[in-house]
């Protein structure tokens, strides 16, 4: 089976002599029947024979000088035919695709061929087409979107977080633990009388107000004295990532070694100066408010973009074939595995926790959404004549260069050797321009 490589080689086959018929098959597949005149096929065969002869050592002949029959004896007709097809197929397929306006989703491949010297060359190829798309309404829409709610005391809450981050801790020896303390303790867990693997630790530090442990675990460490051994009883959540522990009751043997109380700094100008480049507490509060406003603006914009795309997808006629969804899901799967690795988890742990079918179901749903969103963006760009101008591309590169602390010219030079990366950046710019168009031509009401 040949995969067509878009090499752009110049072929010997005359356009006017080639015949091609297109047959539609299920799943957006087209069958392409191609006939090449016998003389053109022989010309392609002879050229392939000469090319191969340049790289083959044949006794009694200099490279490239052996006659065709000798080359055939040493290389074989099948290999020469294969070389001829590899050379000519890019031009042939490009011509067929262009003349028949085929919007291919994948590179065409040769299913079969009949290549007999002196007879017309017959090729049967197949290609998967992009699904047809009929856009629904995408302008003059009015949508209600849940905006990010900013609490009245949001600035005070952020200040309190900063105070806790800057807190100091003092050892306590004359009282029991309290809910806002930080403790250092030993623990050892058991389920069904058996020790839990990796379920123990010595001198483990825990903020009782923000533990992140099993529900009820930290609560039972409150009102406990120093150096006293005791047991607490908890139940692992039903959706716990280790299936052998999910939903199981557990006993933990504990002993508190240290109790620390948190001492928060006073909110004053001195605190602001230590928190950042601020002279007064009011300057710090203004900076926090600016951060919160940006956070709300970004969240509201993201919600608006999502609501618009959801609505357009809902009213757009677009049936995506399963092979396309599976390919996109496979890409998402690799991204998912990379995220797991970065978070310190393994693929095996994810399978044990969620199961392959559940993971793939979610990935396929995400894949379908990504495909539809991308196709809708491109279709709107086509209809509204939204294009990526050189200035748009330059601005995007400058922005990226700033993020990666690189010179824009250096970045462009490095990317010049990676056409795929350049195409991705161009698509990002196009998407951003279409999104701006959608936001400008629709009404969003925040509720």
HEC secondary structure over 300-361: HHHHHHHHHHHHHHHHCEECCCHHHHHHHHHHHHHHHHHHHHHCCCCHHHHHHHHCHHHHHH
Residues 22 and 105 in one domain: yes
Residue 418 Rama label (left phi>0; alpha psi -120 to 50; beta): beta
Residues 24 and 125 grouped into a single domain: yes
9 in the same domain as 124: yes
Task: Give me the pLDDT at residue 418, please.
Answer: 80
263, 282, 317 - which closes a domain = 263
Residues 111 and 210 in one domain: no
Here the CATH number for the domain that contains residue 96 is: 3.30.70.1050
* 125 and 172 in a common domain: no
CATH code for position 231:
3.10.50.40
Q: Are 271 and 265 within 8 A, CB to CB?
A: yes
DSSP assignment, residue 265? P
- Give me the pLDDT at residue 16, please: 53
- Rounded-to-integer distance, Cα 40 and Cα 20, Å: 15
Query: Considering 263, 284, 301, which residue would you say is the last residue of a domain?
Result: 263
Backbone φ and ψ of 118, nearest 5°: 95, -5
Instruction: Read off the tokens for 278.
Output: 């601020």
Distance CA 149, CA 25 (A): 51
Task: Give the pLDDT confidence score for residue 6 in this predicted structure.
Answer: 34
CA atoms of 85 and 419, how far apart (whole Å): 26
Question: Domain range for residue 439?
Answer: 384-447
Question: Which tokens hold the place of 70?
Answer: 């000798």
Which long-range contacts link 346-355 to residues 24+ away (Cβ below 8 Å)? 349/241, 352/241, 352/242, 352/243, 353/241, 353/242, 353/243
105 in a domain, yes or no? yes
Helix (H) or strand (E) holding 125: strand 121-128
The whole-number pLDDT of residue 153 equals 94
Q: Which residues contact residue 23 at a Cβ distance below 8 angstroms, ignoring those fewer than 6 apart?
A: 30, 31, 32, 33
Domain assignment present for residue 317? The answer is no
Asked whether residue 323 is assigned to any structural domain, the reply reads no
The rounded Cα 312 to chain-centroid distance in angstroms is 22
Q: What are phi and psi of 245, to 5 degrees?
A: -105, -15
Residue 291 near residue 127, CB atoms below 8 Å: no
- Name the DSSP letter for residue 441: S
Site of tokens 């050592």: 57
DSSP conformational letter for 172: E
Indicate whether 37 belongs to any domain. Answer: yes
The count of domains in the chain is 3
Closest CA to 244 of 92, 352, 130: 352
Question: CB neighbours (10 Å) of residue 243?
Answer: 13
pLDDT of residue 1: 35
Q: Could you tell me if residue 200 is inside a domain?
A: yes
Same domain, 14 and 125: yes
Distance of CA 142 to the CA centre of its chain: 30
- The confidence score (pLDDT) of residue 5 equals 34
CA distance 113 to 84: 12
Q: Clarify whether residues 126 and 172 are in a common domain.
A: no
Q: Are residues 102 and 206 in the same domain?
A: no
User: Is residue 418 in a domain?
Assistant: yes
For 2, the token pair is: 């040949």
Identify which of 434, 320, 340, 308 has the alpha carbon closest to the alpha carbon of residue 381. 434
**Location of structure tokens 């403790």:** 183
Same-domain status, 391 and 445:
yes
Q: Tell me what pLDDT residue 253 has.
A: 97
| Distance separating alpha carbons of residues 135 and 315, to the nearest angstrom | 7
Question: Do residues 86 and 176 share a domain?
Answer: no
Domain membership of residue 249 (yes or no) is yes
Residues 172 and 104 in one domain: no
Residue 129 per-residue DSSP state: B
Domain assignment present for residue 158? The answer is: no
Claim to verify: residue 108 and residue 218 sit in the same structural domain: no
Give me the sign of the Cα torsion angle 13, 14, 19, 21: positive
pTM check: above 0.85: no
pLDDT tens per residue across all 447 residues of the chain? 333 333 333 333 344 578 999 999 998 999 999 999 999 999 999 999 888 888 887 877 877 678 888 888 888 899 999 999 999 999 999 999 999 999 999 889 999 999 999 999 999 999 999 999 999 999 999 999 999 998 999 999 999 999 989 999 999 999 999 999 999 999 999 999 999 998 999 999 999 998 889 999 999 999 999 999 999 999 999 988 788 899 999 999 999 999 999 999 999 999 999 999 999 999 999 999 999 999 999 999 999 999 999 999 999 999 999 999 999 999 999 999 999 999 988 999 889 888 899 999 999 999 999 999 999 999 999 999 999 998 998 888 888 888 888 887 787 777 777 888 888 889 999 999 999 999 999 999 998
Domain boundary among 235, 263, 291: 263
Q: What are phi and psi of 14, to 5 degrees?
A: -75, 135
């Amino acid at each position: 089976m040949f995969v067509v490589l878009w090499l752009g080689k110049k072929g010997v086959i005359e356009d006017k002599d080639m015949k091609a018929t297109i047959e539609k098959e299920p799943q957006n597949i087209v069958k392409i029947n191609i006939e090449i005149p016998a003389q053109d096929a022989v010309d392609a065969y002879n050229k392939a024979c000469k090319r191969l002869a340049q790289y083959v050592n044949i006794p009694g002949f200099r490279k490239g000088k052996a006659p065709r029959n000798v080359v055939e004896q040493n290389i074989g007709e099948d290999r020469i035919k294969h070389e001829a097809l590899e050379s000519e197929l890019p031009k042939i397929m490009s011509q067929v695709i262009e003349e028949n306006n085929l919007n291919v989703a994948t590179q065409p491949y040769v299913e079969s061929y009949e290549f007999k010297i002196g007879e017309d060359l017959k090729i049967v190829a197949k290609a998967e087409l992009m699904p047809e798309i009929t856009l629904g309404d995408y302008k003059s829409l009015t949508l209600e979107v849940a905006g990010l709610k900013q609490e009245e005391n949001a600035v005070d809450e952020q200040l309190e977080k900063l105070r806790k981050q800057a807190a100091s801790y003092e050892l306590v020896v004359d009282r029991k633990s309290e809910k806002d303390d930080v403790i250092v303790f030993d623990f050892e867990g058991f389920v069904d009388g058996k020790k839990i693997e990796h379920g123990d630790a010595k001198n483990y530090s825990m903020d009782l107000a923000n533990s992140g442990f099993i529900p009820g675990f930290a609560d039972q460490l409150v009102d406990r004295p120093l150096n006293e051994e005791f047991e607490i009883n908890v139940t692992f959540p039903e959706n716990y990532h280790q299936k052998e522990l999910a939903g199981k009751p557990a006993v933990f043997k504990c002993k508190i070694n240290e109790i620390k109380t948190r001492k928060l700094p006073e909110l004053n100008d001195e605190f602001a100066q230590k928190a950042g480049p601020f002279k007064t507490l009011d300057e710090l509060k203004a900076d926090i408010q600016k951060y919160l406003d940006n956070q709300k603006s970004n969240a509201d914009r993201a919600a608006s973009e999502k609501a618009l795309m959801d609505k357009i997808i809902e009213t757009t006629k677009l049936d995506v074939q399963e092979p396309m969804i599976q390919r996109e899901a496979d890409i998402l799967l690799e991204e998912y595995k990379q995220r797991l690795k970065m978070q310190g988890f393994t693929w095996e742990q994810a399978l044990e926790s969620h199961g392959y079918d559940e993971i793939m179901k979610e990935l396929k749903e995400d894949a379908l959404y990504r495909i539809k969103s991308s196709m809708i963006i491109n279709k709107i760009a086509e209809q509204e004549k939204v294009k990526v101008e050189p200035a748009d591309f330059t601005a995007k590169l400058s922005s990226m260069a700033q993020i990666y602390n690189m010179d824009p010219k250096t970045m462009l030079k490095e990317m010049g050797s990676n056409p795929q990366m350049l195409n991705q950046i161009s698509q990002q710019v196009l998407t951003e321009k279409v999104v701006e168009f959608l936001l400008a031509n629709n009404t969003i009401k925040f509720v």
